[in-house]
């Protein structure tokens, strides 16, 4: 999975949660919760969708690393690398 694939995945799932948001307007460096108005149920649904697409189970303790779109990509990249190394 490339960074672009990961980004596309996250944006696709965000689109399902918040259909009114234009993905082009999301600033990848800023807090997604504020930009897209996500609540804890939305974040859980995003984590579940990512889990279903990639098999990666994101522990709650790691949520802070995934606050921005860039953060999501970096975090998932490292988790995917870990998973393929082990």
Partner 1 sequence: MPALGADMEAGTILQWLVKPGDVVKRGDIIAVVDTEKATIEVEVFQSGVIQSIVVPEGEKVPIGTVLALIRTDGEALPPPEVKPPLAAAPPRVAPAPPIVVPAPPRPAAPPRIEKPPPKAPGRLHVSPLAMRVAMELGVDLSTVEGTGPDGAITKSDVERAAKAPPAAAPPVEAPKAPPPPKPPMAPADRQAAMRKVIAAAMARSKREIPHYYLGTNIDMSRAMAWLQAENLKRPVTERLLYSVLLLKAVARAVHDVPEMNGFWVDGAFKLSEAVHAGVAISLRQGGLIAPAIHDVDKKSLDEIMAALRDLVKRVRAGVLRSSEIADATITVTSLGEQGVEIVFGIIYPPQVALVGFGKITERPWAANGMVGARPIVMASLAADHRASDGHCGGLFLAAIDRLLQEPEKL
Please name which of 69, 74, 42, 44 lies closest in space to residue 58, comparing C-alpha atoms. 44
**By three-state DSSP, how is residue 61 classified?**
helix
Task: Return the number of the residue (4 or 60) whose C-beta is nearest partner 1.
Answer: 60
Least distance (Å) from partner 1 to the CB of residue 65? 15
Distance CA 31, CA 52 (A): 23
Q: Which of 1, 23, 35, 44 is close enough to bind partner 1 by CB under 8 A?
A: 44
What residues make contact with partner 1 under the rule CB under 8 A?
18-20, 37, 39-41, 44-45, 47-48, 51, 57-61
């Amino acid at each position: 999975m490339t960074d672009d694939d990961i980004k596309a995945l996250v944006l696709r799932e965000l689109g399902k949660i918040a259909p009114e948001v234009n993905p082009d307007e999301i600033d990848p460096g800023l807090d997604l919760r504020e930009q897209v108005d996500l609540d804890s149920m939305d974040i859980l649904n995003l984590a579940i969708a990512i889990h279903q697409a990639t098999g990666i189970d994101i522990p709650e303790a790691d949520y802070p690393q995934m606050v921005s779109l860039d953060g999501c990509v970096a975090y998932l990249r490292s988790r995917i690398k870990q998973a393929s190394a082990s």
